[in-house]
Structure 1
Amino acid sequence: MYLLIKGGTVVTATGAFPADVLVEGEKIAGLFSPDSTPPVEGAQVVDASGKYVIPGAVDVHTHMQLPFGGTSASDTFETGTRAAAFGGTTTIIDFAVQRAGERVPDGLAAWHAKADGNCHIDYGFHMIIGGVDDESLKAMDSLVDSEGVTSFKLFMAYPGVFYSDDGQILRAMQKARDNGSMIMMHAENGIAIDVLIGQALTRGETDPINHGLTRPAELEAEATRRAISLAQVAGDTPLYIVHLSASQALEAVAAARDTGRNVFAETCPQYLYLTLEDQLGAPGFEGAKWVCSTPLRSKHEPHQRDLWRGLRTNDLAVVSTDHCPFCFKE
């Protein structure tokens, strides 16, 4: 079956231009200048005059049905991918989870069970390694060889939940170097953050804005620099910094990329548009709607300006969502 999208402005990685798009089944069969489109018998024709025609988006960072903090993310694979399709996203890459004491293959199987038959769009998986040990390191090889999983996420944050220390991170990076995979890093100094959180709780500072104040940009930058250094020690293992929000962290990524290092980073729409003061600092408990980690940054500092510039200069390689919604009552 053919679909012909006529009269629109096609947007590609190299620019925007008038073109007609011919689709055969699920594949782009051709792009034609409007005055040279061949007749296609039986094609369904869509008039895109005055509209942009863009490729389906790939959201490389989502968390459907993620258990966390005693509850679970409110979107299932069915509801989340249905919403994604309506928004023009045609592929997601979600995160299967292994916690300390669990087997990596069991974690991947659990996420396959959640997604199988329930998705409206294409999907794949990264693998969260929450317990780096000999068994999980061996499992990284089998996932690369047999399961099509080539990216593994580690956490410098959340001690007692997903946290890996520097030694564990180095071992995982060495394994990724050897099997050709990539390490994704939640780069925040979780040990220091927990100290700041404890001190804030002692002072009775529990308003949502304190979520951001106890996770300062300097601790994101420190962890980012440390992750880059560990990746270099491991043999320049490919490193992907997730949900980068701070100017100082971006400086570390840009410096590494300028020297040809195998370092990449993403940011997310919330860091490009929302702020510590206007969202997390909303009156009462309203700011809890805007809690995320890394946190929203202050509008009085140049974070948003620098992130937008990083996208223009390719110091930031990706925009993803980190889609992980929770109901306000939770």
Structure 2
Amino acid sequence: MSRTLIRGGLVVTASDELHADVLIEDGRIAALAAHGTTAAESWTADRTVDATDRYVLPGGVDAHTHMEMPFGGTTSSDTFETGTRAAAWGGTTTIVDFAIQPKGGSLREGLDAWHEKAEGRCSVDYGFHMIMSDVNASSLRQMDALIEAGVSSFKLFTAYPGVFYSDDGQILRAMQRAAGNGGLIMMHAENGLAIDVLVEQALARGERDPRHHGEVRHALLEAEATHRVVRLAQVAGAPVYVVHVSAREAVAELARARDEGLPVFGETCPQYLFLSTDNLAEPGFEGAKYVCSTPLRPREHQAALWRGLRTDDLQVVSTDHCPFCFKGQKDMGVGDFSKIPNGMPGVEHRMDLLHQAVVDGHLTRRRWIDIACAAPARMFGLYPRKGTLAPGADADVVIYDPHAEQVISAETHHMNVDYSAYEGKRITGRVETVLSRGVPVIESGAYVGRAGHGVYLPRGLCQYA
């Protein structure tokens, strides 16, 4: 039996903050006890970690990543190997990525393809959602089998006509199926048909720079689609989870539905909390670095997002990590913003940026851990194995220095992408040591993990629905 003892830190979970020692046995949390108590003093271990003046946190759960994702004629630049290594550097010990149903193919084909990409390559644990790109009678029946295989969430799009788009009838049928089998429907909510009209009109006027990407994907079209999918879910009697919420009008739709008692949930991402259309408008082609969908909004939208996180109208912060290199990928859209691959890097910096939000007074420490660890684990059927520090949980543990200062830069990050969306941003707080199932992955600021340590996580049903 291997035993690790973490002494002297402030344990922070979604529900508690306590000065406690943590005992780990064979990859699981065995016990917690207050510093100096008889129980804590009696523990012995093969390895002791000194966490004095540090936070002891559950490993982060990033429930929205896209490793090796084909999109727009190219593929996101992080592999499961490079992306999960970067996640570990940032204190994230679990990702949930998106397998994609091939057009005309089965859900199982898509899942098998993503298993092949990930197996034996991940530094941290991983699970999958399923993107349903072809909703029909056959794929609706297949949802039940995927839930049995531990894939309990299904993503549909009101955006990207001709690629991932589903019409209202298809969405309703998928929601009805989920109402019966316990699955959770995730929605990318933008009015893609209307956006395509606005893109065509903007290009015809000669509006071709990256900043126009944000203008054609109007906030009201996010709000309209959010309202629509909420009401479709209500008709179906199913819960719905809206991904990457960026607009205050969309937050208002979620808040209204939740006030009505509907099982409606929302996620936002660091880019919407810290970046804005000012970045999309950076001179030359620099704004292409910030092209993602939903798009960045004017800075005044950020207050509604922070408020939604504090009031629990937004429950989760994920990254939507989908990196494309500035040179060789983003520049496919020089002269035509509609050809810029949509996506940004972020899996490495989510925990740090949200700690900065604690420093800045937007969040409490416990709320930080709730939205980054516990809530995504509950939302996607991983709690209490993941997302907390409690007896029986996996020993995914982050030793975090809340006083260290760092400057985010592409020169020092570990994601496989040639720019940082937060280049030059000074933040307070840094990951020091990371354990994944009790095994060191980051130790005193150095990577000591290995590809293949991470295991596939079959997930249960949403614990909020």
* TM-score bracket, shorter-length normalisation: over 0.9
RMSD of Structure 2 on Structure 1 (CA): 0.9
2:220 is paired with a residue of what secondary structure?
helix
Instruction: List aligned pairs for 1:195-274, cutoff 5 A.
Output: 195-235=197-237, 237-274=238-275
C-alpha deviation, 1:71, in angstroms = 0.3
Structure 1 residues 158-167 or 253-262, which shifts more?
253-262
**Residue in 2 aligned with 1:170?**
172
Cα distance in 2 for partners of 1:42, 1:195 equals 64
CA displacement, residues 72-97 of structure 1 (integer Å, 9 cap, x when unaligned): 00000000001111111111000000
Cα distance in 2 for partners of 1:205, 1:16 equals 52
C-alpha deviation, 1:141, in angstroms = 1.4
- Correspondence 1:137 to 2:140: yes
**Residue in 2 aligned with 1:326?**
324
CA displacement, residues 96-115 of structure 1 (integer Å, 9 cap, x when unaligned): 00133122111110000000
**Residue in 2 aligned with 1:27?**
28
Structure 1 residues 12-21 or 215-224, which shifts more?
12-21
**Residue in 2 aligned with 1:184?**
186
- Is contact 1:125-1:149 (8 Å) kept? yes
Cα distance in 2 for partners of 1:220, 1:71 equals 26
**Residue in 1 aligned with 2:119?**
116
- Is contact 2:5-2:44 (8 Å) kept? no
How many residue pairs end up in the alignment? 325
- Is contact 1:99-1:161 (8 Å) kept? no
Structure 2 spans left out of the alignment, 5+ residues = 330-465
Cα distance in 2 for partners of 1:274, 1:42 equals 45
Letter in 2 for 1:45: T
- Is contact 2:244-2:269 (8 Å) kept? yes
Letter in 1 for 2:36: D
Letter in 2 for 1:215: R
Cα distance in 2 for partners of 1:258, 1:43 equals 51
CA displacement, residues 158-177 of structure 1 (integer Å, 9 cap, x when unaligned): 00000000011001111111
Cα distance in 2 for partners of 1:256, 1:165 equals 22
2:315 to 294, 308, 317: 317
Structure 1 spans left out of the alignment, 5+ residues = none
- Is contact 2:102-2:109 (8 Å) kept? no
Cα distance in 1 for partners of 2:129, 2:9 equals 35
Cα distance in 2 for partners of 1:12, 1:173 equals 33
CA displacement, residues 107-148 of structure 1 (integer Å, 9 cap, x when unaligned): 110000000111111110000000111111111111113x11
Task: Report runs of 4+ in structure 1 exceeding 6 Å deviation.
Answer: none
1:174 is paired with a residue of what secondary structure?
helix
Letter in 1 for 2:308: G
- Correspondence 1:6 to 2:10: no
Letter in 2 for 1:65: E
For normalisation by structure 2, the TM-score amounts to 0.69
Letter in 1 for 2:321: H
Cα distance in 1 for partners of 2:227, 2:46 equals 54
2:198 is paired with a residue of what secondary structure?
helix
**Residue in 2 aligned with 1:72?**
75
Letter in 2 for 1:320: S
Cα distance in 2 for partners of 1:177, 1:248 equals 27
**Residue in 1 aligned with 2:158?**
156
C-alpha deviation, 1:38, in angstroms = 3.2
Instruction: Flag the structure with more relative contact order, 1 or 2, with Cα contacts below 8 A and sequence separation at least 6.
Output: 2
- Is contact 2:184-2:240 (8 Å) kept? yes
1:38 is paired with a residue of what secondary structure?
helix
Cα distance in 2 for partners of 1:253, 1:11 equals 29
